[in-house]
Amino acid sequence: MAKFEPTLKEERYQMLRFVDAENYVTTFLRCVIFSTDATVSDLMTGVEKVPAGDMNTPTKIWHDAREGLFGTYDRPGIDPQLIRVLSNGGNEKAFRWVIHAKGEHSGIIVREPFEDNSYSFLRFASSDDPSDAIPIVECPPAGQSDNTHSSGVGRSDLLAVISHKLNTRIERSNEMFVTDDVVAVLQYDSLNWLDFYISTSLDIDSLYVNGDLVKPAHFGRKPDEVGGGFYVPVPKGAKAGDTLQMRFVYKGTVIRRIRDYTLLTSSILWYPQHGSRQLSRFHLTFTHPPSMTLKSVGDMISSKEIDDDHITSTWQPSYPIRNASFNIGIYKERKLDAKEDVPTSSIYYVTSAGIDNVSISVSQALEFYTKLYGKLPVSHIYATEMLGYHGEAFPGLIHLSDEAFANFTDAFFQEQFTAHEISHQWWGIACDYDSPRDRWISEGFAEYSALMYTQLASTSKSKFFDLLDKYRNDIYGRGAGTIGKKQLPPCVRLGHRVSIGGENNDYNNFVYYKGAWTLHMLRNMLIDLSTFNEDKFMSAMREIYAKGRTQRMSTDTVRAVFERYAGFRLDWFFDQWLYRGELPEYTFAWKKEKQQDGTWKVTMRVRQSGVPPSFFMIVPITVKFDDKPPVRFRINMTGEQAIMEMPPLPDEPDEIIFNDFRSVLCKVSTESF
């Protein structure tokens, strides 16, 4: 029998989506176990073992399982986590248990000791082929979390990167020559190799560790492959806490010229990366043709012309940051008017058609968010146009899609897109999230901030609610996943893994849109229905931002802040909307009866479906009259059906609105009582 019991509640829900139970338990027909220690012997004690054949004539199950770890002759590619264990002595306990069971219960159980989530379960996408297994569940050992240190260093990081000193020369051909001096501290004893990643368009020329010229390794890859993953040797005898000084010298082309645009093909893999969440100090020097304008993260320390063909500028962020980037192009510049407490800002653009609209959005959004949340820790914002249908934000630097400039009549790009990227200066950068499971604190908060900006800036009074409706329809419109029958909707807490085994747009629909809807529901739960005072919600958002300036924000910390302003526990709310994914549907009916004393008796019936019977929600009700002000109150809804009677009304009600102001993410239909 094989068993996998997820240690986190969001992962138990994820298991339920794919195997119809919160724990994986199956009797297997056959299995293959790979292990770096005595795990195989321990697991197989008392089990009758049948030889699977030798290495030269493997059975299909052995052949398929081996390919999953080591690749094929035509497609070499050793599992990176296996490389980590084997290249560093193989002393850490790692295993992969490939299980063939009846029906749809075949899967793979994995332990990867150098991962934040060291245990994972993969389910076969087809009935008997482990080569296309999909990682469904990932979780840390029992009693542990996958939260990172405040510096961003997690269990998966073999070293803490303290600083990068990058000297980059960009030629007219767009070829880039870079030297990166890295200072880092080892996190483990007895390490032999450290894994780094860089764009596949870049090639390492030379590598030095503590002054010695060394040769990087490319385990499991063809010798002529450029860039990508590579491994740096650790000096013999080095132990945890030792400092390494590394110099990477490399070159290549990550900058492409397309018509009038210069495209940076990798915004962060233009320098060697180890770990994706670490905070490091950066000192950046760029040399480039004077015909081009370059803007980087950080404050510009100096800029000077070297000769007729080159200009050099030096940039340095004032505090440790997660990712460093830049943008370069033949730009026109527009400086925006300075405002009190708001960083100065400039736009660098190619497309002139929409520059006025983009300028208004950038200027107004910066002022709006500063008043709403507080000051930013940067003194200047550079918004730079980039070819493509996406945007990306870094400390003080924004990559804006050319669509924001050219397609300024589009309802989304006119306000939402630019406002979303601007809001990332607060959410995801100045206030960063803790674990990858907390990504909604970046994307959901940024998306709802953009919605609130639209509520203020749009000339259409209905646009805010129109966008909420669109997001709701996209969330509810999710189709069947890629594995098996139609799945339950994914939960927000899966973070970047939300699309696994599902649909490509799940990340956008659930981390962005449902994350934003979660804040909208909290906002309307905290609002005073008689005065529409929103001080509680706005104060909570300001406090979350202020806390995030000194610590990485987790979902639990966000919940604790909202609980303090709500005055009651919200664990039920966060469990339903972030840790699980079921979506409610309500059918509402009401009737009115005039009483002998002239008052009106109103009875309401609510049917709830699509969620467990225990699902609980606070729903606002608005009673409208022909010539009197409306009456507003909230009801507590749980169970499959509830029948409620209002207190006697002195006047005849004309209309009753269930879930007014789109206060709950749900579908609502009406029926006769």
Token couple for 304: 């000077």
- 423 with 369: CB under 8 angstroms? yes
User: Is 90 exceeded by the pLDDT of residue 235?
Assistant: yes
pLDDT at 114: 85
pLDDT of residue 221: 55
CATH homologous superfamily, domain 149-288: tricorn interacting facor f3 domain (2.60.40.1730)
* 405-436: pLDDT as tens digits: 886 666 556 678 999 999 999 999 999 999 99
| pLDDT tens per residue, range 476-527 | 998 666 565 668 999 999 999 999 887 789 999 999 999 999 999 999 999 9
Q: What is the CA 411 to chain-centroid distance, rounded?
A: 25
Gap between the Cα atoms of 336 and 360, Å rounded:
9
* pLDDT score recorded for residue 223: 47
Per-residue pLDDT at 557? 97
**For position 411, what pLDDT does the model report?**
58
Whole-number Å distance between alpha carbons of 377 and 429: 10
CA 59 vs CA 36, 64, 111: distances in Å:
22, 9, 24
Evaluate if residue 57 carries a pLDDT over 50: no
Is domain 440-579 annotated with CATH 1.10.390.10?
yes
Domain(s) labelled CATH 1.10.390.10 in the chain stretch across: 440-579
The DSSP bridge partners found for residue 130 are: none
Fill in the DSSP letter of residue 533: -
Q: Are 640 and 612 in contact (CB under 8 A)?
A: no
What percent of the chain is predicted at pLDDT more than 90?
71
pLDDT at residue number 55: 45
Mean pLDDT of 340-358: 94
Average pLDDT over residues 364-390: 95
Residue 212: what pLDDT? 97
Per-residue pLDDT reduced to its tens digit, 650-672: 999 999 999 999 999 999 999 99
Which pLDDT does position 42 carry in this prediction? 65
pLDDT of residue 616: 98
Q: What is the per-residue pLDDT across 601-632, written as a single tens digit (0 to 9) for each?
A: 999 999 999 999 999 999 999 999 999 999 99
Q: Which residue has the tokens 């329809």?
A: 473
585-670: CATH, from 3.30.70, 2.60.40, 3.40.1350, 3.40.50: 2.60.40
In the predicted structure, residue 388 carries a pLDDT above the cut 90: no
78-87, 321-330, 470-479, 575-584: least confidently modelled range = 78-87
For the chain, residues classed under CATH 2.60.40.1730 are 149-288
pLDDT of 254 > 90? The answer is yes
pLDDT exceeds cutoff 70 at 531 = yes
DSSP string, 283-328: EEEEEE-TTSEEEESSEEEEEEEEETTEEEEEEE-SS-BS---EEE
Reported pTM? 0.93
∠ Cα 186 191 196 (to 5°) = 70
Question: Residue 217 and residue 223: Cα distance in Å, rounded?
Answer: 9
Contacts of 612 (CB under 8 A, 6+ apart): 582
> CA angle, 479 as apex, 475 and 480 as ends, to 5°?
135
Segment 62-110, tens digit of pLDDT: 666 666 665 544 445 567 777 888 788 655 678 888 888 876 678 899 9
Kindly indicate the confidence band of residue 224, based on its pLDDT and cuts at 50, 70 and 90: very low
User: Over the chain, what is the mean pLDDT?
Assistant: 90
Is pLDDT of 144 > 90? no
Confidence of residue 132 (pLDDT cuts 50, 70, 90): confident
Q: Enter the tokens of residue 362.
A: 């950038």
Amino acid 227: pLDDT? 54
